[in-house]
Amino acid sequence: MRWEKFIFHYARFIYDQLLPPVCILCSHPTARSTNICFTCQQSLPILPDHCLQCAQFFSGMEKTPLCHTCHHQPPPFDRTFALFPYQSPITQLIIQLKFQHRLPIAKSFADLLIQRLQTTWYRRQKLPDLIIPMPLHPHRLRERGFNQAVEIAKPVAKKLGIPLDLHGIKRTKHTQAQSALPALERKRNITNAFTAYRDYSGLTLAVVDDVVTTGQTMAECCHVLKQHGARQIDVWCCARRG
Ligand SMILES: [Zn+2]
Ligand SMILES: [Zn+2]
């Protein structure tokens, strides 16, 4: 990271810490732990009906809980839990988190995830054994200064009392951004991008990411985790691109 960028990020961090908590959307003071005021939270977009396994949005005709793809060629993860569709103002929040280093946004997403995990998604079932934030390649990590998936996953793991696995699987191939590639090249780009360094035999895992787009990066990561023994993998993400 260039030093100007470092100073900018550091100043931003101090600024965010010193001021009294304000809503990350409208900047009005708020005492809520999510740092999103009640009015703004009420206006956040709702995830449309979607596939249980990959969270792909349904077009309205589906009568099964799974989309056509998951029915015929299931991905290596078992379920996907997403908070929001990837649309305004979620899009802007994720861009500000990733590219303007606004870390309080990660804390807000973590709090929203915790609420939903406890009240809905895992209300009547056992939580996973381990939480794995989607790894970034070391080059990308140096460029950005932090991994947004780690920042989101940390408070969740702490609150739920689940160990965080930061070193068991790594991104060992520096790939181009998937979003910059045509659909057909995405699979080739991401193949063999991950290496696992431990045994996951018998464990249930949650893999956390900020946004799931086509699901190919997630599928490649989970494929490696399953090859190393993972019994069940759930995906937890802040936003799903339809
Ligand atoms: Zn607000
Ligand atoms: Zn699906």
Distance 181 CA to ligand 2 centre (A): 22
Domains identified in the chain, total number: 1
In a domain, 33, yes or no: no
Q: Is the pTM of this model over 0.85?
A: yes
Q: What is the pLDDT of residue 228?
A: 98
Strands 232-240 and 169-171: unpaired
Cis peptide leading into 89, omega within 30 of 0? yes
Q: How far apart are CA 79 and CA 203, in angstroms?
A: 15
In a domain, 175, yes or no: yes
Distance 231 CA to ligand 1 centre (A): 41
In a domain, 22, yes or no: no
Distance 38 CA to ligand 1 centre (A): 7
In a domain, 182, yes or no: yes
In a domain, 4, yes or no: no
Confidence of residue 2 (pLDDT cuts 50, 70, 90): low
Residue 67 scores a pLDDT above 60: yes
Ligand nearest the Cα of residue 82 is 2
In a domain, 32, yes or no: no
CATH number for the domain harbouring residue 146: 3.40.50.2020
Distance 45 CA to ligand 1 centre (A): 14
In a domain, 72, yes or no: yes
Using N-to-C axis directions, what is the helix angle for 148-160 and 104-116, rounded to 10°? 40
Q: Are 79 and 88 in contact (CB under 8 A)?
A: no
Q: How far apart are CA 136 and CA 193, in angstroms?
A: 10
Residue 68 scores a pLDDT above 80: yes
In a domain, 5, yes or no: no
What secondary structure letter does DSSP report for 242? -
Q: How far apart are CA 207 and CA 234, in angstroms?
A: 6
Phi, psi (degrees; rounded to nearest 5) at 239: -140, 145
Boundaries of domain holding 129: 45-240
